[in-house]
Amino acid sequence: MYQYILRRVLIFIPMLFLISVLLFTLVQLAPGDAFTGQLDPNQDARYYEEMRERFGLDKSPVEQYLMWGKNFLQGELGISFRHKLPVSELIGDRIGNTIFLGICAYILTYTLAIPLGIFSAQRPYSKWDYTLTGAAFVGISMPSFFAGLLLIFLFSFTLDWFPFSGTVTAGAGLGGMEAFIDKLHHVILPAITLSIINIAQYTRFTRSSVLAAKQQDFVRTAYAKGVPASVVLRKHVLRNALLPLVTLFGLDMGILLSGAVITETIFSWPGIGQLLVEAIINRDYPIMMAVTMLASFFVLLGNLVADILYAVVDPRIRYE
Amino acid sequence: MNRLTEMTALLHIRNLKTYFFGDDGTVPAVDGIDFSIGKGETLALVGESGCGKSLTSLSVMGLVPGTGRIVEGEVLLEGENLVEKTEEELSRIRGNEISMIFQEPMTSLNPVLTVGEQIMEGLLLHQRLSRQAARERAVQMLKLVGFPRAEAIMDEYPHQLSGGMRQRAMIAMAVACNPRLLIADEPTTALDVTIQAQILDLMRDVKEKLSTSILLITHDLGVVAEMAERVVVMYAGKVVEEAEVQDLFDQPAHPYTEGLIRSVPSLDEEKERLYSIEGNVPSPDRLPKGCPFAPRCSEAWEKCLQKEPELMEIGHGRRVRCFLYDPEEGGSR
């Protein structure tokens, strides 16, 4: 098992290398550079030449890549063209917000989807089941940019229950518990937006998984042993039905931590997703590279966690 | 043995009817069956697929699946009617007084729980043993069913065992609480022939040691000959014949039983083709008028297509449902 994990972690290295080459190539293929958008007729053209020289943009792509790679390996993520600040500092300021939003979305997804799915599976083809099925289809079909705007319209503009941007109330100067509650108040709408599709999908998934497990022979065996229905559900049905969700748990980790680009943008949530969008618009290469590399790493890590968790919960799976 | 009275019988099934209620109407899958099992007796319930034999056993357990429901009749376990019990009362009987083993050992054990955990589950539930005592008892059971390294098996998962070993573990699980009745639904059908013999030997052995009665459900007459003392033959949801095992093989009374016995291949006879009963078992939702076997019966006459025969006593503790034995209806036997 430990060998397996070690091997998987070592594979990260060539994978991240390939990802970096691919990303760098894509970035280079885009026309223009960080200073194209800033052209100011009153500015001397020589200024741009100097700037390009200063940031190494006048060199060949290969040289640029090698330069970036060397710095990256030394833990040097570069200076943002736009912010004129170290990229590591920019990410450091925002990653906490992304993780907080991700965890909230995570909690919402699993605490809602699993009970709803089980509830549905316990009374298949009933009115409740059909209602939840309908709701799930609406949820699955709703893109997050639309869901986000709808939530803002309903709960911020119309009802004024929740704020629609930022992570804290500006200038409120709250501390301790109050500050945390204020943060929760801010995170609710973005977290719902981010998790709505997952909630819908996992509700469906849990429902069909539980329904399938209930038909299994070993469930009949459990009843034949005299195990009461509630224990059969908990010990025999759910233990088996929820195994595949564990995999999704790992995969989601990668996706949620790499920043919710659309949701963060809609709610002006200062996370790394929003940072990335801004960097792409400004062709801020160091930020683009750093954030996408970080996201790639999280996705790879999430996949590994999914595989490991699966072996932990399912005795049939062993890694050599 | 004479027909068992309610007093000596362990289990007495009386006019049991289990129907399914679907969108397309009612399906009488088990339609008024009667039989008894004595203490320490092995009774075989025989019939083709779809004749209602498995559903009969599930009705006894109170585990009728889907839209099925027991609509009439009694299942008396030493005089207590199980049909009238609540789910809670039944769960105290299942696995404790009546337990069951199933056809598919590969899927009948929970893949994510250890074998030991699954055997102990019933013991903890019914006998209220401590975990330690339950574990000891489970190990003892695994030894009884022939696992030399019982301790190790306790902590293994079902996927680590072969089919035959799983069926042994199932038997250990089923008899752990020392039930009075063990229902075995095609216990050897999914196993290799050599393993089949071992499992049958094991069941006989367990029965001797624990003096359990066995209701053996099978379509394999070889298994019947080897295991059973008495046989009940079912056809289309009804009992068509009941007899001591020796009598049944020597002189089958019902034409259907005759056909079943003739279908067993024999090494003594040289035949190009195996005998088979013409036609198929009618679906319980489209039963023919009259005797349900009449369309496939070589002995049938007009009467058989019009009216359904009753189950009649024909001596020797035998019962048969056929007009051949009813002189009033023109029977000639």
Q: What is the chain A residue with the closest CA to B182?
A: A224
The answer to whether A225 contacts B173, with C-beta atoms less than 8 Å apart, is yes
Check residue A112 and give its pLDDT.
95
Specify whether the CB–CB gap between A158 and A203 falls below 8 A.
no
pLDDT at A221: 94
- Domain-embedded: residue B148: yes
- A212 inside 8 A of chain B by CB: no
Q: B120 lies in a domain?
A: yes
CB-based contact A221 B104, cutoff 8 Å: no
Q: What is the pLDDT of residues A173-231, one digit of tens each?
A: 777 788 888 888 999 999 999 999 999 999 999 999 999 999 999 999 999 999 999 99
Tens digit of each residue's pLDDT (9 = 90 or more) over A99-146: 999 999 999 999 999 999 999 999 999 999 999 999 999 999 998 889
Which residues does chain A have within 8 Å of residue B173's beta carbon, measured at their own beta carbons?
A: 221, 225
Nearest to A226 among B126, B159, B170 (CB): B126
Closest-CA residue of B relative to A237 is B110
**A226 vs B95, B113, B159: nearest CB:** B95
Evaluate whether residue B64 is within a structural domain: no
What pLDDT is attached to residue B332?
72
Interface pTM, i.e. ipTM = 0.88
Q: Which of B59, B61, B121 to mutate to test the interface with A (most CBs of A within 10 A)?
A: B121
Is the model's pLDDT at A251 over the cut of 90?
no
Alpha helices in B129-162 (DSSP H): 131-144, 150-154
Whether B44 and B219 have beta carbons less than 8 Å apart is answered as no
C-alpha span between B236 and B281 (Å, rounded): 7
Write out the residue range of the structural domain in which residue B116 sits. Answer: 108-178
Instruction: Give residue A315's pLDDT band: very low, low, confident or very high (50, 70, 90).
Output: confident
What is the model's pLDDT at position B191?
84
Q: Which two tokens stand for residue B29?
A: 């899958």
B125 contacts in chain A (CB < 8 Å): 225-227
pLDDT value at B136 more than 90? yes
CATH numbers and ranges of domains, chain A? 94-270 (1.10.3720.10)
**A214 CB near a chain B CB, below 8 Å?**
no
Q: Do B110 and A221 touch (CB under 8 A)?
A: yes
Buried/exposed A168-189: b ≥16 CB within 10 Å, e otherwise: eeeeeeeeeeeeeebbeebbbb
Mark yes or no for CB contact B96/A224 under 8 Å.
Answer: no
Instruction: Determine, yes or no, domain membership for B119.
Output: yes
Confidence of residue B1 (pLDDT cuts 50, 70, 90): very low
Half-sphere exposure for A224 (CA within 13 Å, toward CB): 33
- Cβ of residue A186 closer than 8 Å to a chain B Cβ: no
d(CA B250, CA B262): 12
In a domain, residue B198? The reply is no
Q: pLDDT > 70: what percent of chain A?
A: 97
Q: Do the Cβ atoms of B15 and B73 come closer than 8 Å?
A: yes
Which of A223, A227, A315 is closest, CB to CB, to B157? A315
- A221 and B159 within 8 Å at the Cβ level: the answer is no
Q: For B62, name the nearest residue in chain A, comparing CA atoms only.
A: A224
Cα distance between residue A89 and residue A94, in whole Å: 9
Taking an 8 Å cut-off on Cβ atoms, the answer to whether A225 and B121 are in contact is yes
- State how far residue B3 is from chain A, nearest Cα, in angstroms: 29
* A221-240 residues touching B, CB cutoff 8 A: 221-229, 235-236, 239-240
Rounded to an integer, the average pLDDT of A240-249 is 87
Chain A residue with minimal CA distance to B104? A217
Mean pLDDT within A58-83 = 85
Q: Which residues of B touch A237 (CB under 8 A)?
A: none
pLDDT tens digits, one per residue of B254-275:
999 999 998 887 777 666 677 8
Q: Which of B40, B22, B41 lies closest to B242 in space, CA to CA?
A: B41
Q: Does A7 touch chain B (CB under 8 A)?
A: no
Option in A221, A226, A313 nearest B108 (CB): A221
Bridge partners (DSSP) of residue B18 are B30, B70
Q: Is residue B205 part of a domain?
A: no
Among candidate residues A226, A206, A240, the one with its CA nearest the CA of residue A122: A206
The minimum CA-CA distance between B107 and chain A, rounded to whole Å, is 6
Residue B69 lies in a domain: no
Q: pLDDT, tens digit, for every residue of A13-24?
A: 999 999 999 998
pLDDT at site B2: 45
**Between chains, do A228 and B91 touch, taking CB under 8 Å as contact?**
yes
Q: What integer is the mean pLDDT of B6-28?
A: 86
Could you say which of B95, B112, B159 has the minimum Cβ distance to residue A225? Answer: B95
The strand pairing partners of B75, in sequence order, are B13
Q: For residue A38, what pLDDT is reported?
A: 65
pLDDT reported for residue A312? 84
Q: Tell me the average pLDDT across B284-305.
A: 86
Q: Is A171 on the interface with B (CB under 8 A)?
A: no
* Number of folded domains that form chain B: 1
Nearest CB partner across the interface for B109, out of A221, A226, A314: A221
Cβ B109–A218 below 8 Å, yes or no? yes
User: Is residue B82 domain-resident?
Assistant: no
Q: Range with the lowest mean pLDDT among A77-86, A91-100, B163-172?
A: A77-86
In sequence order, the β-bridge partners of residue B45 are B217, B232
